[in-house]
Chains A and B, each alone.
Chain A
Amino acid sequence: MSRANLALLVLIISIATLPLFGGPYALRLGTIACMYAILALSWNVVGGFAGYPSFATAAFFGLGAYIGGVLLARGAPLTIAVPAAGAGSFLVAALLGAALLRLRGHYFAIASLSLIEVFRELINNATDLTGGGMGLNIPLSASAGILADAMFFFYMMWGLLLATAVMVIVVSLSKLGFGLSCIRQNETAANMVGLNTTLYKSIAFGLSACFVGAAGAVYAGWVHYIDPSDVFDILYSVKPIVMALIGGLGSPLGVTIGAFVYLGLEEVVWRNYIQIHSGVLGVLIVLLLLFLPHGLMSLRGRKLFWRVKNV
């Protein structure tokens, strides 16, 4: 295992100590941070490793939230709803991927973007199952107090983040990761030498959706109320990409740090500029990308070994 991967695990494990320092609000931020990191790390599999600019993160986040939400609303426990959402998202993504990933570049980006719209409309119109535009209420589980609840969902999200990181590391070390890297560099050549590119890309797309869907389910259980415009928010697709760019494209460690830094920026800006926070945040991101085109990872200056190894 490379040092970068080791550092990633150390970073994630150090996050687990957050409850020692903060109250419910810090835990809420921590939960969101873990969620963002899951989205960004997952995006990295298809966007960073395979080089396919996917905008489908929000589609699978919403899908997972609804699979999980509907199950929870019908009385299933989280232990069933979350894996079901993950598995469902994996399956749907892998199947759709087999068709969509024949497109490349901008064409793929647009197609993946349209997935959000398609899922949103499907959910919107299945009013009997999902409540449509009225949203879905998820019954509150018996509350064990503010802190205990916050802690529970924080560790739930954290556990998912750890699983996502392990998945990403395993992929990057496996033949799959190597294959994806070949696809990114020259897909036609990879195909010529006998790599089943469609299979590889579909698995990558499925994996990138799996944990996002599971995170959606945890999220649904956490906020108790979801509606299509909330969970199919296009920002869930854009933010992971921005985080990856902030941190350093392709590097799991960079992407995770990018997610945390992004959340920090978002929180500070949101607190201090009520009216124009979106604008301020946008300017900050543009500045970051102008001066650090390879993300925060390029701050390391000398040997950027993780990029050489994992990109």
Chain B
Amino acid sequence: MMARFLRSYARLPGLLLVAVGLALSASATSAQEVIKFGAPLPLTGPLAPEAIKQQQGYDLWAEQVNKAGGMSVGGKKYKVEIVYSDYQSNTPRAVQATEQMITQNGVNFMFSPFGSGAAKAASSLSERYKMPTIASTASSSQVYDQGYKYLFGTFTPNDTLTTPLTKIVKAKASNVKKVAILARNDLFPLAIAQEMEKSAKANGFEVVYFEKYAIGTLDHSATLSQIKTLSPQWIFVTGYINDLLLVRKQMTDQQIKADVVSMIAGPAYQEFIDAAGASGENITSAAWWHPAAKYDGKDIFGTTENYVKLFREKFKSDPDYAQASASVSGALFQMAIEKAGTLDKDKVRDALAATDVMTFWGPVKFGSTGQINSLEPPVFQLQGGKAVVLSPDIIKQGEFKLGVN
């Protein structure tokens, strides 16, 4: 009786072991002459479009390095390989993918998963495994203030986008008093809207309206007519390209006019400029980087112009800050590794921390928290179907214009 019972169930743990065993049989290829970079990306799910941008950025960098014969580390040439993994736009999977890459795929260095949230969640692993990691899409300062040593980021804090914009409006548009803010209820768009509220208040503007709209909202007309009744001189909207195009279209339908209309982060993309057409005229925005910027870098890409050219050749479209940040993250790793002359993680970490260099992305220097503190994100305005940089002064291309109809 008992024996039969035991026999009946002897197979169960076996089955389980097979499942777990299969799961653990990782493909551990040898890392000879190759430096492996781990890049967990949300290739499927709601963040997929962002993942593709990052992948383009990393791929372009890896291709350039390998075309040039690889990285020279201590007199030896190494090819670059980027190990991708899909975390399905799901933060816990991003953490899992990070741990998998570190412990099973044997990557030498890591790129963070997308966005502040996932980058923060995964950063504790980088710290525990002492794995130098660059976050190419995490801006919130809360990601970096955990006292971690191995995490670096190429985005300045969110307020560096809103503060210069507010300063320009304050200086150039004296009759702007009332601000209306409409934000997508999502990590980055909401955070930037809150920063906007803060910098508007700090500069003496009156915030007459602050509302969030849900992800996937397809009709903003009620919200917009409410904004219209308040007649603000400055309308500030956050969201991604499709949200912002819709808001802009419905603003035109309702004939809402304002001295200043700012949108983040749509106008940084060429798709926005094309789709908005005439209605995009005089919209202001800010981003960490813009192809119109002109920096003369010491990295593998050299000038911003050259980077944009290489990108166009490969992908037949213009890069925006997301792709450029991914590329510069690779380039920064490259410079740090070549300077350290070794693949030793601690030495590369120290070289990264000591980075102080001009790149096609702008000047790069990491603060004590690991977040970049040297970059002044450009403020720009769409004028005549083109993005014109208004600030900072070293890359300024034109003057601020009032009136969005």
Contact = CB atoms under 8 A, between A and B. Distances in A.
A141 to B, nearest CB: 11
A225 B212 contact: no
A32 B212 contact: no
Interface of B: 5, 8-9, 12-13, 15-16, 18-20, 22-24, 26-27, 43-44, 46, 84-86, 88-92, 95-96, 99-100, 103-104, 117-118, 120-121, 124, 128-129, 142, 146, 184-187, 189-191, 212, 214-215
A261 B44 CA distance: 23
Contacts of A132: 185, 190, 212
Contacts of A283: none
B5 A26 contact: no
Interface of A: 3, 7, 10-11, 14, 22-26, 28-29, 32, 121, 124-125, 127, 132-135, 137, 140, 143, 145-146, 219, 223-227, 229-230, 233, 257, 260-261, 263-265, 267-268, 270-271, 274-275, 277-278, 300
Contact of B117 (A7, A227, A270): A227
Interface centre among B46, B121, B142, B215 (most CB of A within 10 A): B121
A127 B194 CA distance: 11
Contacts of A143: 124, 128
Given A264-B19, A271-B23, A274-B84, 16 more contacts: A3-B8, A26-B24, A29-B20, A29-B23, A121-B214, A125-B185, A133-B187, A133-B189, A143-B128, A146-B128, A223-B91, A226-B91, A227-B91, A229-B46, A260-B16, A274-B43
Contacts of A29: 20, 23-24
Contacts of B15: 257, 261
Contacts of B16: 11, 257, 260, 264
B100 A26 contact: no
A50 B148 CA distance: 50
Contacts of B24: 22, 25-26, 29
A125 to B, nearest CB: 7
B26 A271 contact: yes
Contact of B92 (A230, A257, A270, A274): A230
A3 B99 contact: no
A22 B23 CA distance: 12
A146 B104 CA distance: 15
Given A7-B12, A225-B117, A140 B20 contact: no
B20 A264 contact: yes
Nearest to A219: B92
